[in-house]
Chains A and B, each alone.
Chain A
Amino acid sequence: MTLSVTLRHAFPGFALDVGFEAPAGVTALFGRSGAGKTTVVNAVAGLIRPAAGRIVADGEVLVDTERGLFLPPHRRRVGYVFQDGRLFPHLTVRENLLYGARFAGGGAAELGRVVEMLGIGLLLGRRPGALSGGEKQRVAIGRALLARPRLLLMDEPLAALDGARKAEILPYVERLSAETRLPILYVSHAVDEVARLAATVVVLAGGRVARAGPVAEVFGDPDTAPLLGLREAGAVLTARVVAHDEDGLTELAFSGGRLVVPRIVAAPGAAVRLRIQARDVVLALREPQGLSALNVFPVTVAQLHSGEGPGVMVALKAGDAALLARVTRRSAEAMGLREGLQLFAVLKSVAPAPADVSAML
């Protein structure tokens, strides 16, 4: 199952011209506000009619302006989880959940499964007005799922929530992609969300596709870093849980060696994704001694990217894994950083936040 999108659309003062393919799994549509993300998902859902373009989901053409084809939203079987929930205020949670099931022929068994997966069993009799922001979004996700979509759109579903509520929902979204096998187009402007959830990322900037590809590849590319925001830039690694130590740390193995991070919730042997922010990585020409940082591993400089500012983004190879380090131009010159140079990367164990680690299901 894939989604293929080519679109051209113009608003006053803004032009959108994008084309990308979203394979199965979670594809993040990433970009700052005003980059055109919502316009793209609205076109996929059929809520706007693009000036020109072609959208094909799972072999079915949803829009083809050349052939004058436009499938109305209710015939697309495209689930949509909106940023603001948009639950029907006059219906109970149960009635909201079952709204789309009527057309999809979903049974009571499916309702039970979705309710259990999202943990909303106790809310069924309530009205949306009596729900918290996080509860509303979980109900909205369930409502979209029960309409049995072939594709799920999520437009910044966590943007309206505070940190604690986000942490409450994220595991459900992770389970969602794993358990439903639905292709998900996930709109976000938060790097940590994308790194945690998506396998593929399409970076939009100024109405165009700036980069697209696997998350590890795109986020590990120093040229992409300015698009993400330099403070937020960081590579995404895949690692395997080796052991949970008694002192509260978890040992991970990745292509470039071993990593020690604060305890994460995953069984030994499980694969996890770990985002390592470029500003947390320290570089050393010789293996440092007497250091409090627990993670020191050999790396090779793959590429240097300096922009306008005082910093340099250094792309590193650690085994097969790509890593980013942000250092000052002054350090880069003093150390003589160049492509192919072998050195050591240092990472404090406490640097990755719990939100930077996610279990891969």
Chain B
Amino acid sequence: MSPWLGPAEWQAVLLSLKVAAFAVAASLPVALLVAMALARWRFPGRQVLNGLVHLPLILPPVVTGYLLLLAFGRNGPVGGVLEQAFGIVVAFRWTGAALAAAVMAFPLMVRAMRLAVEAVDPRLEEAAATLGASRVWVFLTVTLPLILPGILAGAILAFAKAMGEFGATISFVSSIPGETQTLSLAVYALMQTPGGEAGAFRLMAVSVVLAFGALLVSEALARRARAGAGP
């Protein structure tokens, strides 16, 4: 497929893209809800929620992965229920890698979105209401367009983080080529293999390009958000 990436390496890149895309897509609505809640609503347990969201940022990733394994393993309290009720198994599957990536990227996504929500002047939403717009319509036509750059920036940052996730993934779903061996895990595996340095370098080049691209797009969106929110 590629003139210089081997089939196994190509597989790791594609798997990483799939895992990261799923992780971001599935956690985005939840992250937006949490960001709105933290930015706008006052409710009991708000600080607890805030702490929980930031936990993966503070905990060693290996610990997060191990906790995920305990909870979502086939004998874990959540994993057991998922398997019996829905036949869903995440442990040692690519879906588990996506779960680990989503958990690790979640704080970054929420932080970016929360900043965007806090930058929206609630008085604009009041103005929309006096013009006849219901709450849902106000959200769709005023709030959402104004925070969209923040949402995109958060999603891209989370995507980059998910692409590079290592510690939680390897302790939760291990490093199974073709199933859970994402780009980072593949680089590590190649480094451990005699004669694997060339492959490791090629994958590192790919990840540097992807990470930089994501960062540039995210910065550009953040700039646009600032310009749009200005007078």
Contact = CB atoms under 8 A, between A and B. Distances in A.
Interface of A: 45-47, 72-80, 82, 84, 86, 88-90, 99-100, 102-104, 128-129, 143-144, 147
Given A82-B123, A86-B124, A129-B231, A99 B133 contact: yes
A86 B134 contact: no
Nearest to A80: B130
Interface string B107-151: 000000000000001011011111111110010011001100000
B124 A147 contact: no
A46 B229 CA distance: 26
B65 to A, nearest CB: 41
Given A45-B130, A100-B131, A144-B130, 9 more contacts: A73-B126, A74-B134, A77-B132, A78-B130, A82-B123, A88-B127, A89-B231, A103-B133, A147-B130
A86 B133 contact: no
30 contacts: A45-B130, A46-B130, A47-B130, A73-B126, A73-B129, A73-B130, A74-B129, A74-B131, A75-B132, A82-B123, A86-B123, A86-B127, A88-B127, A88-B128, A89-B228, A90-B146, A90-B228, A99-B128, A99-B131, A99-B141, A100-B131, A100-B133, A102-B132, A103-B131, A128-B231, A129-B230, A144-B130, A147-B130, A147-B131, A147-B132
Given A86-B123, A90-B145, A72 B129 contact: yes
Contact of B130 (A79, A88, A89): A79
Nearest to B121: A86
Contacts, number: 68
B139 to A, nearest CB: 12
Nearest to A148: B132
B230 A74 contact: no
A358 to B, nearest CB: 28
Nearest to B142: A88
B146 A89 contact: yes
Nearest to A78: B130
Contacts of B121: 86
9 closest A-B pairs by beta carbon, nearest first, are A100-B131, A103-B132, A86-B127, A73-B129, A80-B130, A147-B131, A90-B145, A74-B129, A100-B132
A144 B145 CA distance: 21
A143 B131 contact: yes
Nearest to B130: A80
Contacts of A82: 123, 127
Contacts of A75: 132
B126 A47 contact: yes
Interface centre among B128, B130, B138, B141 (most CB of A within 10 A): B130
Nearest to A79: B130
Contacts of A86: 121, 123-124, 126-127
A147 B229 CA distance: 25
A89 B141 CA distance: 12
Nearest to A47: B126
B230 to A, nearest CB: 6
A46 B127 CA distance: 11
Contacts of B138: 74
Nearest to A76: B130
Nearest to A86: B127
Contacts of B229: 89
B117 to A, nearest CB: 15
Interface string B218-230: 0000000000111
Contacts of B130: 45-47, 73-74, 76, 78-80, 144, 147
Interface centre among A79, A88, A102, A128 (most CB of B within 10 A): A88
A129 B128 CA distance: 18
A74 B127 contact: no
Contacts of A80: 127, 130
Contacts of B133: 74, 99-100, 103
A79 B130 CA distance: 6
Interface in B18-44: none
Contacts of A128: 231
Nearest to B148: A90
A130 B200 CA distance: 52
